Homo-oligomer: A and B are copies of this chain.
């Protein structure tokens, strides 16, 4: 396909209802060989991203899953390496991260509900999806959730000419009187998925967010993708990323190998400290007070983390989502068990 043909296809957009999107997702994942339960877990994760307005973490991501499956050795079952009443360390068996982290979250919930606290780690897994999804699971179970990732080197230290730590996001989920309060932040100035998207769209990067393969500052996303991105907020963002790196060791991270990336989940039952209802009420009041901060001229409102995505989710669950026609075609092919062209259509 030529570039202009592809652009024409991209410009064709189709709207799917929530049910249609769910059905297409599940069937295409089943076509890739996932069991009905696995297909459901994976589909719900990516659907949720689509509902929240993260289009490329939504249905198109199933095509990335297909591509990875072609590249990677056949996975083995996830297994427990070490376990205590309040902890578990899991070997992901090379399974998709949206499956392993979902299971890790379930284990963290079980253990923390029973014992007040849990720490669960996974390594040997890939493509874990959105961290906010897991901490939201925890918060929906009445727990405070913290999720950190120590991923493969993509971020250069301030003054460094090579990547040395991962984009290392940290996510938090807190129970409130309404929807969970969810915070999800990468410690890099730019996520690698943003970089790929900007490269595809021919957009320039902001100044001071990336270096090329020679360690020189660059605003070219293609050169940056061969180099490294920088931490957000200079030394402070780097320090935070280092903390995730150190926490990742609990989850079996520790070398440059991507499969050794460490995914950690910490769950705390608030009533170790204050009654859950009091916690929910106080946090809701605190957030309402912060939201009501007087505004600078020209500012419409104080934006709290996850507020926009939760509003979009509510709307999109009703109205459905829009995807590229070519993505729909590729997923329909996968659903028929035809993986042949998935890769070329990404």
Contact = CB atoms under 8 A, between A and B. Distances in A.
Interface of A: 82, 84, 86-87, 89, 116-117, 119, 121, 144, 156-162, 164-165, 170, 172, 174, 181, 183, 185-186, 211, 215-216, 232-237, 239-240, 242-243, 245-247, 249-252, 254, 256, 266, 268, 270, 272-274, 279, 282-283, 285-286, 289-290, 293-296, 299, 301-305
In the A-B complex, the 6 residue pairs with the smallest Cβ-Cβ separation, listed nearest first, are A233-B233, A159-B299, A87-B272, A160-B293, A250-B273, A254-B282
A332 B266 CA distance: 48
A298 to B, nearest CB: 9
B84 A272 contact: yes
A270 to B, nearest CB: 6
Contact of A183 (B159, B240, B272): B240
Given A84-B116, A157-B293, A246-B286, 19 more contacts: A87-B116, A117-B117, A119-B272, A159-B301, A160-B293, A160-B296, A160-B299, A161-B296, A164-B289, A170-B240, A181-B242, A185-B240, A211-B296, A215-B294, A233-B234, A233-B236, A239-B305, A249-B286, A250-B274
Contact of A242 (B156, B183, B296): B183
A294 B162 contact: yes
Contact of A185 (B216, B239, B245, B252): B239
Contacts of A144: 246-247, 250
